[in-house]
């Protein structure tokens, strides 16, 4: 799909529906500011990764900010870190075998920014060879500032991501990172959607195919999209539906 068409779609969806009152969160540990709708919460998974999710699970996908240390020897400038990680992700999506990926949209132009920083983005669908597991989609942005690189992403079931992509994109694009000019403020549609169910041992640490630890709400048996997940030290693939 063309870049302009995607951006027009996002703009149209952002303007539809009733905007909910938002919450401003200034996070001192990672030095960013985020604007979240009512019922959305922030959860710190580690000292380098935070999750953002709808506590009512009306919006079923999972959002996250991951901060990486930028090794100046490997990536002398923030732009080089951003470029390398964007290209690596795109190549993984295009050439992976199981799951195989399809890059539906990407924008690496100079106008794709996070505040004043270059922030190329992609929208990708992943399809496991085992069709019983089900596909999932990811919207991802990369950017870097100072000694750190940032990965901002939304990951979820394909139906939920298609329905609510504009909301997720607006939340992520609205994050103010250290040293970044004021970015987009969140004002998105709030629509109902049936939550997804998952059956996983609540003590299990779950990771996706790219090694990212996933947020899971075992008490509610909700919180993860259908997809392929791994537990540390095991080859078992978990099917979450």
Domains and CATH numbers, the chain: 3-196 (3.40.1000.10)
Model pLDDT, residue 214: 61
pLDDT in tens, 92-124: 999 988 888 999 999 999 999 999 999 999 999
In a 3-state reduction of DSSP, which class is residue 155? strand
Confidence of residue 221 (pLDDT cuts 50, 70, 90): very low
- Residues 183-188 have a mean pLDDT of 39
154, 164 Cβ separation under 8 angstroms: no
pTM surpassing 0.75?
no
Range name among 23-32, 210-219, 231-240 with the lowest pLDDT average: 231-240
Residues 6+ apart with CB under 8 A from 8: none
Percent of the chain topping pLDDT 90:
59
pLDDT in tens, 192-213: 322 223 344 444 555 554 555 5
pLDDT in tens, 31-68: 999 999 999 999 999 999 999 999 999 999 999 999 99
pLDDT at 215 over 70: no
16, 187 Cβ separation under 8 angstroms: no
Closest CA to 154 of 56, 85, 24, 54: 54
Q: Phi and psi (nearest 5°) for 76?
A: -60, -30
């Amino acid at each position: 799909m063309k870049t302009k068409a995607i951006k027009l779609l996002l703009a149209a969806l952002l303007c539809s529906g009733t905007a909910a009152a938002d919450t401003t969160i200034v996070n001192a540990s990672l030095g960013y500011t985020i604007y979240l709708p009512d019922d959305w919460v922030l959860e710190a998974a580690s000292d380098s990764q935070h999750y953002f999710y709808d506590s009512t699970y009306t919006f079923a996908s999972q959002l996250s900010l991951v901060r990486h240390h930028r090794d100046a020897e490997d990536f002398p400038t923030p732009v080089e870190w951003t470029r390398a990680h964007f290209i690596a992700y795109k190549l993984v999506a295009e050439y992976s075998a199981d799951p195989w990926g399809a890059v539906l949209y990407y924008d690496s132009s100079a106008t794709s920014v996070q505040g004043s920083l270059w922030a190329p983005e992609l929208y990708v669908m992943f399809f496991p060879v085992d069709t019983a597991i089900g596909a999932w989609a990811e919207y991802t942005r990369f950017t870097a500032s100072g000694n750190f690189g940032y990965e901002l992403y939304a990951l979820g079931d394909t139906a939920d991501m298609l329905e609510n992509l504009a909301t997720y994109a607006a939340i992520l694009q609205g994050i103010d990172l250290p040293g970044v000019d004021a970015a987009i403020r969140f004002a998105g549609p709030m629509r109902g959607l049936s939550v997804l169910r998952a059956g996983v041992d609540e003590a299990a640490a779950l990771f996706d195919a790219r090694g990212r630890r996933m947020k899971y709400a075992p008490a509610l048996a909700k919180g993860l999209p259908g997809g392929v997940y791994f537990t540390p030290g095991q080859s078992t693939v978990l099917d979450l539906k």
